Structure 1
Amino acid sequence: MNNGRPAPSLKGRALRLLAQREHSRPELERKLARHTDDAEQLARALDELQAKGFISEARVVESVLHQRAAQYGALRLRQELQHKGVAPAAIAQAVAGLADSEFERALALWQRRFEPAADAREHARQSRFLLARGFSSAVVTRVLRHRPDNAG
């Protein structure tokens, strides 16, 4: 199946994954663990890649925020960063930086998807959509009460 070529090394596999997108160290550990029984070998390979700057938690956070902040609220982004194994302090800092733009991001998303709700059923549907995207209930309430003719 591999055309006579040797299987890629752990570092080679890690670099291939990192070429596709940023990965946190815990993500790489999970993905590469099935390719080796030697936990020390895996740790050495990841240590080397981290020392050379190939693995960067800051880049993972930046990448997630850049790709997802326009579509998702702080709660959802926090959850995604936790799932990727990002350190709690880095998550807290990233989420704190989003607080100022939370309403504007939710409003922009709502304006792309919806018109003002005509009835309670539609209002509830729009509210569920924004809540599922990780926006807080306070932000969702402000967005759904927003009128273009007033400031907020």
Structure 2
Amino acid sequence: MSVELDTPVAVRRSAMDLLARREHGRVELTRKLRQRGAPPELIEAALDRLTEEGLLSESRYLESFVSYRARSGYGPLRIREELGQRGLQRNDIEQALRECGVDWREKLEECWRRKYAGRLPADMRERSQQMRFLSYRGFPPELIGKLLSGKGGGDD
């Protein structure tokens, strides 16, 4: 099933097939095209052209990724780390997180209610367990602390 990606047209077609499924970052798209056997010089030329045409957009990818992960119950710290691992620039990541319009406190509360049915921890063991889970999901410790102290609700 291996397809030969030895022409600019084949590389472009493969890149567009991937972009048709979902947004991709340049680094991720480069990696996928390399895995499919495309030579680096053809990849760069194809991606430059797709960027010029507006079909490949790092900012659109960032916006899409942040939105998707936030809807999936992940916080800004985890999303920042995942995007960094995908080879995106720190400044671009920070800008995308600032401009995403997500209320992280609200997302934290949704995640917590789904997992713990809105039940505040009864003892230190439960509190530690809830804090670890919410930290793992990528929410800031100060927001978690407020929530688990009963001060994180929308009434403040």
8 Å contact kept, 1:36–1:42: no
Query: TM-score if structure 2 supplies the norm length?
Result: 0.82
Structure 1: stretches of 5+ with no match in the other structure: none
Question: Residues of 2 paired with 1:149 and 1:82: CA distance?
Answer: 31
* Aligned residue number for residue 88 of structure 2: 86
* Aligned residue number for residue 133 of structure 1: 137
Query: TM-score if structure 1 supplies the norm length?
Result: 0.84
Question: Residues of 1 paired with 2:53 and 2:153: CA distance?
Answer: 53
* Aligned residue number for residue 106 of structure 1: 108
Could you say what secondary structure the match of 1:69 adopts?
A: helix
Range that drifts further, 76-85 or 21-30: 76-85
Q: Does 1:143 align with 2:126?
A: no
RMSD across aligned positions (CA): 2.4
Question: Residues of 1 paired with 2:104 and 2:78: CA distance?
Answer: 12
Range that drifts further, 100-109 or 141-150: 141-150
CA shift in 2, pair 1:26/1:90, >3 Å: same
Range that drifts further, 77-86 or 24-33: 77-86
Cα deviation 1:89-122 (Å, max 9, x = unaligned)? 2111122346972222211211122122222222
Runs (4+) off by over 6 Å: none
Structure 2: stretches of 5+ with no match in the other structure: none
Aligned-residue sequence identity (percent) comes to 36
Q: Per-residue deviation at 1:140?
A: 0.9
Question: Residues of 2 paired with 1:69 and 1:89: CA distance?
Answer: 19
